[in-house]
Amino acid sequence: MSFADLGLSDELLKAVTEAGYTDPTPIQRQAIPSVLMMRDLIGIAQTGTGKTASFVLPMIDVLAEGRSRARMPRSLILEPTRELAAQVAENFEKYGTHHKLSMALLIGGVQMGDQVKALEKGVDVLIATPGRLMDLFERGKILLTGCNMLVIDEADRMLDMGFIPDIENICTKLPANRQTLLFSATMPPPIKKLADKFLSNPKTIEVARPASTNTNITQWLVPVANSAFEKRKALRRLIDDQGVATAIIFCNRKTTVRELNKSLKKHGYRSAEIHGDMDQPARIAELDRFKAGDVNILVASDVAARGLDIKGVSHVFNFDAPWHPDDYVHRIGRTGRAGATGTAFTLVSSADAEAVENIEKLTGQKIDRMGALPVEDESADEKRGRGRKGGKPKSDAPRTDKKTADKPREARKEEPREERRPEAREPRRDTEAREARRDDRPRRDRDRRRDSFDDGPDDGWNGPVPDFLNFTIPA
């Protein structure tokens, strides 16, 4: 089956051919005819299967007739991140080159003035993140009563970032007889509840089992010591042994992204970083450097894990095992795209046993190991209680000085304490050695002394977590 068999217009077929595509992917073959028939749709597909084009192409033909009015967009596409919204906008520009459709991009991190001017002229397609859209709506700069098509993309990521209440609010302001398309790589219960509430008799397209991984991606778990220094050393060894052409390395925390990128540069690698603390122009600039080949390694937080379509990524490395098993599917989906093959490595320590179990439970497959995974022994609690330089574990009984053990309590109180001499400082060593000692501190102490700017996963949301997010994925 070719794109011509899907009912697309000649102008759109010409744009698709110019973009270098000849055969539609499975989700495109199933979704495009249904969207052209104005049916509601639920699309469950792995990342990298072409689901963006499955709604962009038919939307262009549907919107070809009619015209826009000021501050009243005709269609709305909701995206979880700025990068993904910008990528969808690029798709509209590429495939809509032979149509006269207007488009506006509403994302945070950029000035609002130009976005308001575009809305006042009238737009056919509005691509937005929920936060900026609600901001402009509350200011009275946009009306949604003329929006007859809604696309909710990466719905499970919206759930992770706490956007579901905003999406429910947005849906109530749209016409009741609109067409709604929902796309997601996974289908947790809250997303199913959202679909049941706001979609009318939708057609469900499932090109792969929910939360399954791409079969073109070879996956490995790599056992490492529970130390940032040793993990960086193991990562560099993997990069050298694998002959990496281009790679994305994912970390759980923004501070880890910065430290790892600094370490890689110090060892001569061409790397760049992207995380949520960077403003939008800086993030775009780093992505452009990676796409252009100026750097071949991109160290990223989960802000870059969803939807970014960067061709030719040969490897994905999970420097940290993801906290949420859904994120694993999206992280490794940055490689093996559009039928290509890829390799994904996840560095795991004894502390990651539960995360690995949750990932394998969600995906329904056992990931190959490069050796036995480390297991935390029964004396782990005793080791955590030792000082930085080790030593004997503390006994349950209180310590008592031998000199004062036999003295009466009153006498011991009056005896002055011996002043401790300050320990001689160790000679200054290189940065990697100091970091290794710092990471050998008890884990609980490290968690208490977490950097004030490190508030957990960098997934774009730093507000309170709603109660409905606390659900358990059924086995």
Instruction: Find the mean pLDDT for residues 414-441.
Output: 45
228-242 and 254-266 are packed helices; what angle lies between their axes, rounded to 10 degrees? 60
pLDDT surpassing 50 at residue 190: yes
Question: Of 436, 404, 252, which Cα lies nearest the Cα of 327?
Answer: 252
What is the structure's pLDDT at 306?
A: 59
In percent, how much of the chain has pLDDT > 70? 74
Sign of the dihedral defined by the CA atoms of residues 105, 162, 155, 321, in that order: positive
pLDDT band with cut points at 50, 70 and 90 for residue 323: confident
Stretch among 74-88, 237-251, 426-440 having the lowest mean pLDDT: 426-440
10 within 8 A of 61, measured Cβ to Cβ? no
State yes or no: pLDDT of 246 exceeds 50: yes
Mean pLDDT of all residues in 68-89 = 90
> Average of pLDDT values for 185-192?
86
pLDDT at 429: 43
User: Is pLDDT above 80 for 201?
Assistant: yes
CB 62 within 8 A of CB 34: no
Residue 76, Cβ neighbours under 10 Å: how many?
A: 24
**pLDDT (mean) for 398-419:** 44
At residue 459, does pLDDT exceed 80? no
Name the nearest CA neighbour of 64 among 10, 22, 106.
10
Q: How far is CA 334 from CA 144, 167, 267, 404, in A?
A: 34, 26, 25, 66
Which pLDDT score, from 0 to 100, does residue 380 have? Answer: 43
Grade residue 47 by pLDDT with cuts at 50, 70 and 90. Answer: low
> What pLDDT score does 45 carry?
80
pLDDT for the residue 63: 93
Nearest to 337 by CA among 210, 195, 213: 213
Top-confidence range, 304-308, 353-357, 413-417: 353-357
Q: Which residue has better confidence, 48 or 194? A: 194
pLDDT at 441: 45
Average pLDDT over residues 313-322: 93
pLDDT given at position 338: 66
pLDDT exceeds 70 at position 471: no
Helix (H) or strand (E) segment spanning residue 220: strand 217-223
CB atoms within 10 A of CB 244: 18
- Which amino acid belongs to residue 110? V
Max mean pLDDT among 36-40, 66-70, 84-88, 243-247 falls in 36-40
